[in-house]
A = this chain, B = another copy of it.
Amino acid sequence: MIPIRSVPEVLQRARDLSAPAVLAALERLSPEVRPLVEYHFGLADENGRRIEGASNGKGVRPALAVLSAEAAGSEAAVGVSAAVAIDLVHNFSLIHDDVIDCDHERRHRPTVWSLWGIGRAIIAGDALLALSQQVLLDSAADGLASGAHAGSAARCLAEATSAMIAGQALDMAFESIPGVDVDRCLSMEAGKTGALLGCASSLGAILGGAPDETILALRDFGVQLGLAFQAVDDLLGIWGDSDRTGKPTGNDIRQHKKTLPIAAALAAGDPHSDELARLLATDRLAEEEIARVMVLVERCGGREIAGDEARGRLAAALDALGRAALEERARDELADVARFVVAREY
């Protein structure tokens, strides 16, 4: 019998497979860009000194990419370039988002732009985005995928990247308007998070030449998981413990983000919704006002609605996994990773 792997073991295995490939990819960056990126990935400090045993996030996206190859019947190795490409796109977006949001800290360390300036942070993000396509398209030259399958994978990645950027643009636009309806908020989140997770969850299968219905089921799994993931992130962005999130409690409120709990609370038609709207119209919120917003969002049901959304999307994700003929072990591990992501404390 095959021993069952726990989620931490599943994530660790994907990290062990993809980490050397990430390192090799970053070595292709120019000497002017590489130190910034290695710092951002937690591989080096700001003076370029190596940090041993570094970890750059939980590694959910790379794990999805590796498992998607296996779920479609390919070797894990086929999913490795997909895992690297997704990781590069994700980190491109983090480096640029930190500039855009003027965030000074990420994972309890100064952000790239706050150390090296806006111009160099822009270039570092750009370099990661271009590199992501190179890594994926090189898999054809490396004999891990056919030229046509590598091209299809690159197309999926480019589409997901575009959708993510569109979601990010909408997220920014929300900051300067008083309220947004829940549907628009969910559509922003589908772009911002759903698209890249949908891509991650199918990219290995695309490289492996899986049939369309397998690819579509895996992509739907990832999109639904992305929405669940984002709903949890939204909850953490308001009520999360700064020790765990690496950002101060109430951070999304401070930045006037219109995330799902806020959008739902504003739309609730509760007497507290009006007080909430008035508070959110304030340019710079004092700390006690942020605390009051947290209470009001909860009273208007925003916290509950986001929790329901997370659970509902998780169920839809698990349902999608049942719609295609997948390798059993990888399918079960995908399901476990999904449950793990949504079970983060909030």
Listed in ascending order, the chain A residues whose CB lies under 8 Å from chain B are 28-30, 32-33, 92, 96, 99-101, 118-120, 122-123, 125-127, 129-131, 133-134, 137-138, 140-141, 146-148, 150-152, 154-155, 157-159, 161-162, 165-166, 168-170, 172-173, 191
B30 and A170 contacting across the interface, CB-CB below 8 Å: yes
Partner of A166, one of B32, B119, B134, B168: B32
A162 and B120 contacting across the interface, CB-CB below 8 Å: no
A162 and B122 contacting across the interface, CB-CB below 8 Å: no
B118 and A130 contacting across the interface, CB-CB below 8 Å: no
A158 and B170 contacting across the interface, CB-CB below 8 Å: no
A137 and B155 contacting across the interface, CB-CB below 8 Å: yes
CA distance A4 to B126 in the complex (A): 41
Q: How far is the CB of A307 from chain B (nearest CB, A)?
A: 29
Given contacts A130-B129, A138-B155, A151-B151, contact A166 B118 (CB under 8 A): no
Q: A130-B165, A134-B158 are in contact. List 12 more A-B contacts (CB 8 A).
A: A30-B165, A32-B169, A32-B173, A96-B123, A96-B126, A99-B118, A100-B118, A120-B169, A122-B125, A133-B133, A148-B148, A151-B151
Partner of A119, one of B100, B127, B140, B170: B100
What chain B residues lie within 8 Å of A161 (beta carbons)? 130, 133
A169 and B127 contacting across the interface, CB-CB below 8 Å: yes
Q: How far is the CB of A211 from chain B (nearest CB, A)?
A: 16
CA distance A166 to B31 in the complex (A): 8
Given contacts A118-B99, A119-B99, A123-B100, contact A151 B137 (CB under 8 A): yes
Partner of A140, one of B118, B120, B151: B151
